[in-house]
A and B are shown apart, each in its own frame.
Chain A
């Protein structure tokens, strides 16, 4: 049987080529997700282990692990460094001061911008992983060294002047050297600058304190013994860990984020493969039909049903193995593409050798093989159902009324089930072990399969309706195209269903994005009561120096400045982000409706909380709420105000004074600025801009600029999602080419007849093209409808009247128009092939 299988495969090379392509594209994104995240994992594992090179142990303030990756811990007293140094187990101990900075070029422009942060640290010759690459180490308070890859990227050379902003105004430094991390120059994409210890303490406002203490043990003391010795003299709330543990701790937070990215990317990989499954199904269905006589002959000469079934399944396995192998290779290429996409969206990601792990290959291939096998299951059973007698006569099965009823019933049941599972995931409380997303994912898969089946039942009438204008415009050719599009309703349905899925997800995301944009605009319009917002440029740099608010406040043109800050805290074990502001002035700056209590009098040990959060945490006004801060540990706060959640206000508010006590960070996140009405608006803004000229890391935005910035962020993310969904659409597109090609091969004789009775090549091409357009538009329309319904359901499920549901009519029209174009393009090769058919061969009988 194996020989027959192989012969069968070779006999259908062309027919299977596109199937291999589909499997390759689908598994490619799965492999690509793993390769991308494994590669990043590798980059950062190296980075974190390098960052502890030459150090045996590290001392920091004890911070809850959950909070550690979002904030800085409390500083340690400098005296502890001396205490540790005096231990006989210790050879050397070095205190380090570090923080986020913004680099400024000689023209006063901020360098870097969006992307990984710029980190400033104190330089030490001993107990430090940093090594000088070129030039010298910093020796006086004007010296600075920068990591060599950033120097290259930012075109900074030794001898150049750069400005650094930490907490105050920019200070000028002279670049005296470049540094590396141990032997490598991999800082994970971050920019690293080092200055002398004293300068760092001054710059980060840390006189008498250090952030971390790096310890090198004396002789060949074991890390455990060293840690124990240091721990013995360390004060309470101090964490002493050996270097390996410290590296692992740093990596674990990062790995969590990486896992999330991986899951996100994999979701799109599985969507692509799922879409590919439809194409595979079609291919095998067609191959089985075309080989009816051959299969019947095998049965006639003694092959069992089981053997025939296995032959088809074996074919599918071989095809999927080939496709998956290509897929893994393609995945490596995709990983590079994903890196580029993320770089555009989130900043530079360091390049390294792509990591291809055994697990990646196994999972990609297993996914490809399983999806293919599953898709070939129905065709295999169909093949085994071919009776031996079919070898002797042409059996043309015609879809019966009964089949129609079965198809519609099965389709209805499966799609209803899918919709039900989605609804359960969205509206009910699923059991804790299963995430809502799993419900929605499985439900959506069922819904799509159900709709594909169901649409087979309606492909005929709907396809004819779509074809009506084509009949009118193109007469006989239009009629032939329409009838061809609906003559195999199952095949058309499955082909267009693949497109339906891609379009549905695209429309879904588009609706959510445009709703989110509308909501954002609305919120900003509703809550933004001031004239300007001052914000730091980019994500990765430092915040705003508190001096900015001070200087703007001092301007005569300004009536009001409200500063806000942000930070993490633990509430009932979860990390929540808390906002802080000068609460007495907050209601002046943004529209925030207080339901109970008084926002403006929230004190040091008090907290304001949104109505939603209060409900979730089951606290009322004057109740106490236990929270944990990275700096100060567990704190009991009294709920002093409850407000309606709105826009920029998060779920929790602290007064600025309380924030200053509980957080190490001493910079502002955003400033709300209101002009004095007796001054001209542009003059007032001019005055603010003049202040900001001294702080290149800050920028001012008016209401519409602020909204634009928020929307640019949404659009960037949507762009990334589009790029990932594009693969599923490409596969659906290949599916259309596949179906057309298979149909053209199947209809060789009919096309020959049309040519014989006078159809021109051009008419044949047109016929195939319009068939393609009908299939594509059918899929796009179904997809748009499903996408709209799903988006509506999600908005309902979010159960908030704050989201403005926006029907993107223009986008749906564009989707359908693009589908038409895709249909035309998909038809190019099949139509060409059809029009080039040799008439004589097509009509030969013997």
Chain B
């Protein structure tokens, strides 16, 4: 089976000469379909850069990234946009929603932008699973932080993308809402076989995933299947020392 995401010798360099920063330094990694993967690492390790590059938000200095069998390096801005629209979903740490649109409109936004219609059964099932059915008419400012993030997850799921990228999705939430959100992401993987790649520095969050990839100074330093918060925590300690 083709992996959902594949990066080969992915390298991203910012600046040049003495100010050169190698945010990614020859990363080769694959993320399997239907699984929940976590990218871990301390601040400045390059984990966000990796996410941006494999999600088609940023381009590589050298190397190659594929989503399915599509090489992102071969696409121009417009093709990348269309790819993000149809094959990728995003959940950011904050500011996920357009404040002028209702929750329902935010969820269908990528589909509306693409001019395609919503599968009502799928839509109902998603909002049912995420328990936001009674908040659909509200504006983001009228929702709690946890509700806002669930609406963001629903938006990411709505178009049934090949992969959802989540960047610290629980980072701005209190521990209870955060745990609830991660439960929903887990549920999406188990129920809908959704592929999710999540960046986090939180061992508790990583504990929800099937696999944790550790990054340091732009390079993969470890790959842990079935991570538990404790194991991740121990691993991180060794990284940060």
- Interface positions of A (Cβ within 8 A of B): 396, 398, 475-477, 479-480, 483-484, 487, 749-750, 753-761, 763, 839-840, 843, 845
* B109 CB-CB contact with A under 8 Å: yes
- Main secondary structure on A side of the interface with B: helix
Shortest distance in angstroms between B53's beta carbon and chain A's nearest beta carbon? 10
24 contacts across the A-B interface (CB closer than 8 A): A396-B141, A475-B115, A483-B100, A484-B100, A750-B98, A750-B99, A753-B92, A753-B95, A753-B98, A754-B98, A756-B57, A757-B84, A757-B109, A757-B110, A758-B81, A758-B82, A758-B85, A759-B81, A759-B85, A759-B113, A760-B82, A761-B77, A761-B81, A840-B52
User: What residues of chain A lie closer than 8 Å to B98, measured between beta carbons?
Assistant: 480, 750, 753-754
The 8 Å CB contact of A753, one of B78, B96, B112, is B96
A749→B81 contact, CB < 8 A = no
Query: With contacts A840-B52, A843-B95 known, is A756 near B84, CB below 8 A?
Result: yes
Question: Considering only CB atoms and an 8 Å cut-off, how many residues of chain B contact the other chain?
Answer: 31
Binary per-residue interface labels of chain B (89-127) against chain A in the complex, 1 for a CB within 8 Å, 0 otherwise: 110111111111100010001101111000000000000
Complex Cα gap A843–B77 (Å) = 17
User: What residues of chain B lie closer than 8 Å to A483, measured between beta carbons?
Assistant: 100-101
Shortest distance in angstroms between A394's beta carbon and chain B's nearest beta carbon? 10
Binary per-residue interface labels of chain B (44-72) against chain A in the complex, 1 for a CB within 8 Å, 0 otherwise: 00000000100001100000000000000
Nearest-CB residue, chain B, relative to A485 = B100
B99→A475 contact, CB < 8 A = no
The 8 Å CB contact of A840, one of B58, B81, B84, is B58
Complex Cα gap A17–B78 (Å) = 32
Complex Cα gap A843–B112 (Å) = 21
Complex Cα gap A570–B131 (Å) = 90
Complex Cα gap A758–B57 (Å) = 10
Complex Cα gap A536–B143 (Å) = 79
User: What residues of chain B lie closer than 8 Å to A761, measured between beta carbons?
Assistant: 77-78, 81
Nearest-CB residue, chain A, relative to B156 = A757
B86→A758 contact, CB < 8 A = yes
Complex Cα gap A759–B155 (Å) = 14
The 8 Å CB contact of A476, one of B57, B97, B113, is B113
User: What residues of chain A lie closer than 8 Å to B105, measured between beta carbons?
Assistant: 476, 479
Nearest-CB residue, chain A, relative to B52 = A840
Given contacts A476-B109, A483-B100, 16 further A-B contacts (CB under 8 A): A475-B112, A476-B105, A479-B105, A483-B101, A487-B100, A753-B98, A757-B84, A757-B110, A757-B155, A758-B81, A758-B114, A759-B113, A760-B82, A761-B81, A840-B57, A843-B57
Shortest distance in angstroms between B218's beta carbon and chain A's nearest beta carbon? 17
Complex Cα gap A759–B80 (Å) = 10
Complex Cα gap A734–B50 (Å) = 42
User: What residues of chain A lie closer than 8 Å to B92, measured between beta carbons?
Assistant: 753, 756, 843
User: What residues of chain B lie closer than 8 Å to A760, measured between beta carbons?
Assistant: 78, 81-82
Complex Cα gap A262–B77 (Å) = 56
B113→A477 contact, CB < 8 A = yes
User: What residues of chain A lie closer than 8 Å to B141, measured between beta carbons?
Assistant: 396, 398
Shortest distance in angstroms between B139's beta carbon and chain A's nearest beta carbon? 10
Nearest-CB residue, chain B, relative to A763 = B113
User: What residues of chain A lie closer than 8 Å to B109, measured between beta carbons?
Assistant: 476, 754, 757
User: What residues of chain B lie closer than 8 Å to A476, measured between beta carbons?
Assistant: 105, 109, 112-113
Q: What's the A-B contact tally at a CB cutoff of 8 Å?
A: 74
Query: With contacts A398-B141, A475-B112, A757-B110 known, is A480 near B100, CB below 8 A?
Result: yes
Complex Cα gap A3–B52 (Å) = 40
B110→A758 contact, CB < 8 A = yes
Q: What are the 5 closest A-B residue pairs judged by CB atoms, nearest first?
A: A758-B85, A476-B112, A483-B100, A757-B110, A760-B81
A757→B113 contact, CB < 8 A = yes
User: What residues of chain B lie closer than 8 Å to A845, measured between beta carbons?
Assistant: 93-95
Nearest-CB residue, chain A, relative to B111 = A476
Shortest distance in angstroms between A209's beta carbon and chain B's nearest beta carbon? 84
User: What residues of chain B lie closer than 8 Å to A840, measured between beta carbons?
Assistant: 52, 57-58
Nearest-CB residue, chain A, relative to B159 = A758
Nearest-CB residue, chain A, relative to B112 = A476
Nearest-CB residue, chain B, relative to A762 = B78
Complex Cα gap A284–B87 (Å) = 42
Nearest-CB residue, chain A, relative to B78 = A760
Query: With contacts A476-B112, A479-B101, A480-B101 known, is A757 near B78, CB below 8 A?
Result: no
Shortest distance in angstroms between B102's beta carbon and chain A's nearest beta carbon? 10
Shortest distance in angstroms between B36's beta carbon and chain A's nearest beta carbon? 21
Complex Cα gap A58–B114 (Å) = 87
User: What residues of chain B lie closer than 8 Å to A750, measured between beta carbons?
Assistant: 95, 98-99
Shortest distance in angstroms between B96's beta carbon and chain A's nearest beta carbon? 7
Shortest distance in angstroms between A281's beta carbon and chain B's nearest beta carbon? 23
User: What residues of chain B lie closer than 8 Å to A757, measured between beta carbons?
Assistant: 84-85, 89-90, 109-110, 113, 155
**Which residues of chain B in 115-163 are interfacial with respect to chain A, using CB atoms and an 8 Å cutoff?**
115, 141, 155
User: What residues of chain A lie closer than 8 Å to B77, measured between beta carbons?
Assistant: 761
Complex Cα gap A442–B136 (Å) = 50
Nearest-CB residue, chain B, relative to A483 = B100
Nearest-CB residue, chain A, relative to B105 = A479
B84→A749 contact, CB < 8 A = no
User: What residues of chain B lie closer than 8 Å to A487, measured between beta carbons?
Assistant: 99-100
Complex Cα gap A839–B101 (Å) = 20
The 8 Å CB contact of B95, one of A396, A398, A479, A749, is A749
User: What residues of chain A lie closer than 8 Å to B114, measured between beta carbons?
Assistant: 758
User: What residues of chain B lie closer than 8 Å to A758, measured between beta carbons?
Assistant: 81-82, 84-86, 110, 113-114
Complex Cα gap A843–B100 (Å) = 18
User: What residues of chain B lie closer than 8 Å to A756, measured between beta carbons?
Assistant: 57, 84, 90, 92
Nearest-CB residue, chain A, relative to B84 = A758
Complex Cα gap A743–B155 (Å) = 25
Complex Cα gap A749–B115 (Å) = 23
Complex Cα gap A753–B167 (Å) = 13
Select the residue from A476, A477, A839 with max chain B CB neighbours within 10 A. A476
Shortest distance in angstroms between A839's beta carbon and chain B's nearest beta carbon? 5
Complex Cα gap A750–B100 (Å) = 10
Nearest-CB residue, chain A, relative to B172 = A845
Binary per-residue interface labels of chain B (19-30) against chain A in the complex, 1 for a CB within 8 Å, 0 otherwise: 000000000000
User: What residues of chain A lie closer than 8 Å to B112, measured between beta carbons?
Assistant: 475-476, 479
Shortest distance in angstroms between A398's beta carbon and chain B's nearest beta carbon? 7
User: What residues of chain A lie closer than 8 Å to B95, measured between beta carbons?
Assistant: 749-750, 753, 843, 845
Complex Cα gap A476–B104 (Å) = 12
Nearest-CB residue, chain A, relative to B43 = A846
Shortest distance in angstroms between B227's beta carbon and chain A's nearest beta carbon? 25
Shortest distance in angstroms between B154's beta carbon and chain A's nearest beta carbon? 12
Complex Cα gap A754–B85 (Å) = 10
Nearest-CB residue, chain B, relative to A749 = B95
**Which residues of chain B in 164-205 are interfacial with respect to chain A, using CB atoms and an 8 Å cutoff?**
none
Nearest-CB residue, chain B, relative to A487 = B100
Shortest distance in angstroms between B93's beta carbon and chain A's nearest beta carbon? 6
The 8 Å CB contact of A755, one of B52, B81, B97, B101, is B81
User: What residues of chain A lie closer than 8 Å to B82, measured between beta carbons?
Assistant: 758, 760
Query: With contacts A753-B96, A760-B78, A845-B93 known, is A839 near B85, CB below 8 A?
Result: no
Nearest-CB residue, chain A, relative to B155 = A757
Complex Cα gap A477–B85 (Å) = 14
Complex Cα gap A754–B57 (Å) = 12
Select the residue from B86, B98, B155 with max chain A CB neighbours within 10 A. B98
User: What residues of chain B lie closer than 8 Å to A753, measured between beta carbons?
Assistant: 92, 95-98
